[in-house]
Amino acid sequence: MDNIENVELIVVGGGPAGLSAALAASDYGIKVVLAEEREFLGGQLIKQTHRFFGSEKEYAGTRGIDILKRLIEDVKNREDIKILASSRVLGIYEDNVVTILNNNKMKKYIPQAIILATGASEKFLAFENNDLPGVFGAGAVQTLMNVYGVLPAKKILMVGSGNIGLIVSYQLLQAGVSVAAVIEAAPKIGGYSVHASKLKRLGIPILTSHTIKKAVGNKKVEGAIICELDNNWQEIKDTEEFIECDAICLSVGLTPLIDLLKQRKVKTVYVSELGGYIPLRDENMETSIMNLFVAGDVSGIEEATAAMIEGQISGLTVAKRINKNQKEEIQRKIEEAKKELVLLRSGPVGEKIRKGLSKIGLNHGENYDESILKEEFDISYLMKTGVPSKENLESKFPKDKKIFDKGPIAISECFQKFPCDPCVKSCPFNAISENGNINNIPYVDFEKCTGCRICVSKCPGLAMFVVHKNYTETSSLITMPYEFLPRPKKGELVNVYDRDGKIICEGKVIKILDSSFQDKTAAVSVEVPKEHFLEARNFKVRYLKHE
């Protein structure tokens, strides 16, 4: 065993939280050892090809893989950060010694502070034949597709409708894999409605109050038996249905990876809203052990944006404690980061997180704006089916229908309150507003809107459309976001679909905006018969199959 090395800070985990923590501490001259057990940095970001929600300040509208590139480039340019890839932290002991296995050599470190950003593991589900080859976790499917370029199946059944289940289903479709259905045991969709609506427009069934009973097959998955559940989560008799598929993907939640924390005897508590056992910690992310901090999913399951901010808070807190100068500046940055977290969690979708945090004595709710906690209108039908109700749509259309006659206008089909603002920030005419709070639903000022189409490509939820009702005397032009390959060609005839994924007419591709500005979300304008201008919301190139 080599000699013991004294260091200022060890960060365990090279995902978004760990990278952000290392950078925040390094900003104030702290020397950091960053240990990652895999051969590459990135954590879950390396699999995330979709755009992030949240605020512009926290990379909203940027794809996860592109956020990762920025973080890694920044980390590698810091002389104060020493990266230990392929390095497994084996122990954190009471004398503050940390043992790390690197290149088959065990080495001891004595840090002044430790930040654990070890992330989470996937939960599994009990059902008959769940050990058949072809039963995957969603993380494994993403790793196969987005890291190694391997298709996991030809036709897959997704179990779970949280954001991960919905996003992975969409990515499977982009990769050319058919998705038989998304089933969800709860009576409503677990993820953001915009993710569900993307799938519905592609014709993918989303079956709430359904669960899987059995994987069918001998040596591998050849199908699945699903059934309906009643209000008490009990199987409804005679509702069994066979789903043909060659793989089953489980996306049923995450649980924090707290093994090292338990070894160090950090106090933990079970909080179901945060994924299971989590460490007790304060608002600066410090655990019950002084100078041992956490950040990201290991402290409770949330989105990656929250993980990055928590990483900043923990890194800055370490810097403030070790650095002899700039303490006031560091504290100001810590407070700014905390305000960002409060803002992200202040809407209806943050209620579960707030409830979990309150159980460990944090953020008791006094900082949250009560006026935005409730949805503006009933979205229960949307959250059951992925399709907005007629009332939901009317709330976002112009009250004066003559507005449609003035020319192209943007229509926002975002109906759920969650933190996101790229559509607002992208509009050069200030025509889109969330009324001063990132958690509010965006509305379009139709008098200001010019129908420029910028928002169509910038919305991470693919919920912005531009409608030109009177394109000709008999036709309308609908500009829609499109993220599949190959792209349609100008003049090509396509099948046009409604919000439920049903074909309604034939359309003709008129314009395609697909430069680097669109960042792989093309804005495609399709001419449709005028009677369909309020229904046409998707199209498919005829020789491609998305279902």
- Amino acid sitting at position 433: S
86 φψ region: left (φ > 0), alpha (ψ -120 to 50), beta (else): left
Q: What is the mean pLDDT of the segment spanning 292-316?
A: 97
pLDDT in tens, 98-126: 999 998 899 999 999 999 999 999 999 99
pLDDT in tens, 204-263: 999 999 999 999 999 999 999 999 999 999 999 999 999 999 999 999 999 999 999 999
Residues 512 and 100: their CA atoms lie apart, in Å, by 52
Provide CB contacts within 8 A for 501, sequence distance 6+.
200, 201, 202, 203, 204, 538, 547
H-helix or E-strand spanning residue 151? none
Q: From start to end of 352-461, where are the E strands?
A: 409-412, 432-433, 443-444
Q: Is the pLDDT of residue 547 over 50?
A: no
* SS3 state of residue 544: coil
* SS3 state of residue 117: coil
Q: What is the mean pLDDT of the segment spanning 371-385?
A: 86
CA 23 to chain centre: 22
Confidence of residue 185 (pLDDT cuts 50, 70, 90): very high
Whether residue 496 contacts residue 509, with contact meaning beta carbons closer than 8 Å, is answered with no
Least confident segment among 281-290, 356-365, 385-394:
356-365
Whole-number pLDDT of residue 117:
98
* SS3 state of residue 196: helix
pLDDT in tens, 18-63: 999 999 999 999 999 999 999 999 999 999 999 999 877 778 899 9
Query: How many CB atoms lie under 10 A from the CB of residue 104?
Result: 6
Residues 403 and 246: their CA atoms lie apart, in Å, by 49
* SS3 state of residue 135: strand
Whole-number pLDDT of residue 546:
47
Residue with the two structure tokens 């009332």 = 391
Whole-number pLDDT of residue 370:
64
Question: What token pair was written down for 185?
Answer: 């045991």
pLDDT more than 90, % of the chain: 89
Question: What token pair was written down for 117?
Answer: 């950003």
Residues 390 and 257: their CA atoms lie apart, in Å, by 44
Whether residue 217 contacts residue 245, with contact meaning beta carbons closer than 8 Å, is answered with no
Residues 92 and 126: their CA atoms lie apart, in Å, by 33
Q: Is the pLDDT of residue 422 over 50?
A: yes
Give the closest residue to 53 by CA, choosing from 418, 307, 411. Answer: 418
Q: What is the mean pLDDT of the segment spanning 477-483?
A: 98
Whole-number pLDDT of residue 364:
53
ω into 422 cis (within 30 of 0): no
Q: Is the pLDDT of residue 428 over 50?
A: yes
| Cross-strand partners of 513 | 523
Residue with the two structure tokens 């979709």 = 50
* SS3 state of residue 221: coil
Provide CB contacts within 8 A for 436, sequence distance 6+.
none
- On average, the pLDDT of the chain sits at 94
Residues 214 and 315: their CA atoms lie apart, in Å, by 46
pLDDT in tens, 128-162: 999 999 999 999 999 999 999 999 999 999 999 99
- Amino acid sitting at position 197: S
Whether residue 417 contacts residue 372, with contact meaning beta carbons closer than 8 Å, is answered with yes
CA 394 to chain centre: 28
Q: Is the pLDDT of residue 363 over 80?
A: no
What does the DSSP 8-state code read for residue 279?
E
The pTM score is 0.94
Whole-number pLDDT of residue 520:
95
Whole-number pLDDT of residue 54:
81
| CA atoms within a 13 Å half-sphere pointing along the CA-CB vector of 462 | 26
- Amino acid sitting at position 93: Y
pLDDT in tens, 524-545: 999 999 999 999 999 998 765 5
Whole-number pLDDT of residue 509:
97
Residue with the two structure tokens 């009250």 = 399
Query: How many CB atoms lie under 10 A from the CB of residue 400?
Result: 9
DSSP codes, 449-513: -----HHHHH-TTS-EEEEETTSSSSEEEEEEEE--SSPP-TT-EEEEE-TTS-EEEEEEEEEEE
Q: Is the pLDDT of residue 366 over 70?
A: no
Whether residue 111 contacts residue 10, with contact meaning beta carbons closer than 8 Å, is answered with yes
Is beta strand 493-497 parallel, antiparallel or unpaired with respect to 538-540? antiparallel
Name which residue leads in pLDDT, 547 or 49.
49
Residues 295 and 289: their CA atoms lie apart, in Å, by 14
Whether residue 436 contacts residue 481, with contact meaning beta carbons closer than 8 Å, is answered with no
Confidence of residue 371 (pLDDT cuts 50, 70, 90): low
Provide CB contacts within 8 A for 533, sequence distance 6+.
404, 467, 469, 476, 478
Work out the burial of residue 430: count CB atoms within 10 Å of its CB; fewer than 13 is exposed, 13-18 middle, 19 or more buried: exposed
Q: From start to end of 49-160, where are the E strands?
A: 81-84, 87-92, 98-102, 105-116, 120-122, 135-137, 155-159
Give the closest residue to 62 by CA, choosing from 301, 315, 308, 310. Answer: 308
* SS3 state of residue 433: strand
Confidence of residue 438 (pLDDT cuts 50, 70, 90): confident
Residues 150 and 170: their CA atoms lie apart, in Å, by 16
Whole-number pLDDT of residue 347:
84
pLDDT in tens, 314-352: 999 999 999 888 999 999 999 999 988 988 888 888 889
Whole-number pLDDT of residue 369:
64
